[in-house]
Structure 1
Amino acid sequence: MSASNRKPQDYGKVAVLLGGRSAEREISLLSGNAIYNALQDAGVNVVKVDPVDGLYEQLNGQQVDRAFIALHGRDGEDGVVQGFLKSIGIPYTGSGVASSAIAMNKLFSKQLWQQVGIPTAQFRTVKKNQLFTDNDARALFAELGSILFVKPIKEGSSVGMSKVATSAALLKAIQLAHQFDSCALIESYITGKEYTVSILNGEALPSISMQTPRDFYDYEAKYKSTTTEYFCPSGLNEMDEKIICGLAVKAFGALGCSGWGRVDFIRDGDEGEFLILEANTVPGMTESSLVPKAANAKGMSFQQLVLNILDTSFEHEDFSDV
Structure 2
Amino acid sequence: MLRILFLFNAVPARERRGPYSDCLSWETVRQIYRALLEGGNEVYPVNVRSRHQLEKSLSRLPAPHLAFVLAEGFLDEPHTLYDGSGAATVRFLLQQYGIPTSHSPTAAMEICRHKNLTYQVLQQHGLPVPSYRVLEPARGLLRQQLARAVAELGFPLFVKPNGGGNSIGISDASVVYDFSRLERQVNSLRETLGELPVLVEKYLPGQEFTVGLIGRSPCYVLPPLAFLSREVRTTTVKGKPNEIENIFPEDRRYNFLSELAVKVLAAIGAKDALRIDLRSDSEGVVYIIDVNGTPSLSPMASLTTMAMASGLRYSQFINFILYQSLLEYGLVPGGKLQDLVAPALGLLHLYRRETRPLQVFSA
**TM tier relative to shorter chain:** 0.7 to 0.9
> Aligned ranges for residues 39-58 of structure 1 at < 5 Å?
39-52=36-49, 54-58=53-57
- Aligned residue number for residue 15 of structure 2: none
Matches for 1:161-180 after TM superposition, within 5 Å: 161=170, 162-178=174-190, 179-180=192-193
1:63 aligns with 2:77: no
CA distance in 1: counterparts of 2:253 and 2:41, whole angstroms: 39
Q: Contact between 1:199 and 1:261, CA under 8 Å: does it hold in 2?
A: yes
Q: Which residue of 1 aligns with 2:224?
A: 207
SS of match in other structure, 1:225: coil
Q: What is the CA-CA distance between 1:277 and the residue it aligns to?
A: 0.7
Kindly indicate whether the alpha-carbon contact (under 8 Å) linking 1:32 and 1:285 is maintained by their aligned counterparts in 2: no
Q: Distance in 2 between matches of 1:252 and 1:216?
A: 25
- CA–CA distance in structure 2, aligned partners of residues 102 and 273 of structure 1: 24
Q: Which residue of 2 aligns with 1:6?
A: none
Contact 2:212 2:303 survives alignment (8 Å)? yes
- 1:84 is aligned to 93
Q: Which SS does the other structure have where 2:311 is aligned? A: coil
CA contact (8 A) 1:69 1:76 kept: no
The equivalent residue for 1:121 is: 130
Cα distance in 1, alignment partners of residues 322 and 330 from structure 2:
16
**Alpha-carbon separation, structure 2, partners of 1:200 and 1:77:** 22
Asked if the contact 1:193/1:266 (under 8 Å) is kept, the reply is yes
Residue type of the partner of 1:220?
T
- How far apart in 2 are the matches of 1:258 and 1:268? 29
Paired position in structure 2 for 1:185: 199
Offset, 1:279: 0.9
Contact kept? 1:195, 1:266, Cα under 8 Å: yes
Aligned counterpart in structure 2 of residue 132 of structure 1, from 136, 139, 142: 142
Please name the residue that 1:96 is paired with: 105
The answer for the alignment partner of 2:33 in structure 1 is 36
| Alignment: residue pair count | 303
Structure 2 unaligned spans of 5+: 12-18, 73-80, 332-363
Of stretches 281-290 and 62-71 in structure 1, the one that deviates more from structure 2 is 62-71
Whether contact under 8 Å (2:213, 2:274) holds in the other structure is yes
| 8 Å Cα contact 2:8-2:24 kept in structure 1 | no
Q: 1:127 to 1:137 in 2, by over 3 A?
A: closer
Q: TM-score scaled by structure 1? A: 0.84
User: Given that residues 21 and 166 in structure 2 are in contact (C-alpha distance below 8 angstroms), is that contact kept between their aligned partners in structure 1?
Assistant: yes
The equivalent residue for 1:233 is 247
| 1:278-308 residue CA offsets vs partner (Å, 9 max, x unmatched) | 1111100112101111112222211111111
SS at 2:265 equivalent: helix
Letter in 2 for 1:163: V
**2:10–2:47 contact (8 Å) kept in structure 1:** yes
Amino acid at match of 2:269: G
| CA distance 1:59–1:23, change in 2 (3 Å) | same
Could you tell me how far apart the structure 2 residues matched to 1:186 and 1:76 are?
Answer: 20
**Contact 1:76 / 1:82 at 8 angstroms: preserved in 2?**
no
Asked whether the equivalents of residues 32 and 70 of structure 1 are also in contact (C-alpha less than 8 Å), the reply is no
Cα distance in 2, alignment partners of residues 106 and 221 from structure 1: 21
Which secondary structure state, in structure 1, belongs to the residue aligned with residue 128 of structure 2? coil
Counterparts of 2:5 and 2:56 in 1: how far apart (Å)? 13
Separation in 2, partners of 1:124, 1:173? 15
SS in 2 for 1:209: strand
Distance in 2 between the 1:44 and 1:315 partners? 15
Matches within 5 A, 1:266-281: 266-269=279-282, 272-281=284-293
Q: Structure 1 stretch 165-174 or stretch 191-200: which is displaced more?
A: 165-174
1:295 to 300, 307, 318: 307
Contact map agreement 2:229 2:243 (CA 8 A) in 1: yes
Q: Which of 230, 233, 236 in structure 2 is aligned with 1:217?
A: 233
Q: In the alignment, residue 68 of structure 1 is paired with which amino acid?
A: F
**What SS does the aligned partner of 1:305 have?**
helix
1:284 to 276, 296, 302: 296
Deviations 1:68-102 (A, max 9, x none): 11224557864111111111022221111111111
Where in structure 1 are there 5+ consecutive unaligned residues? 1-8
TM-score (norm 2): 0.75
Please provide the CA RMSD for this pair.
2.7
* SS at structure 2 position matched to 1:26: coil
1:307 is aligned to: 319
Equivalent residues of 2:85, 2:113 under 8 A apart = no
Distance 2:312 2:141 in 1: 51
Q: Distance in 1 between matches of 2:119 and 2:165?
A: 15
The 3-state SS of whatever aligns with 1:278 is strand
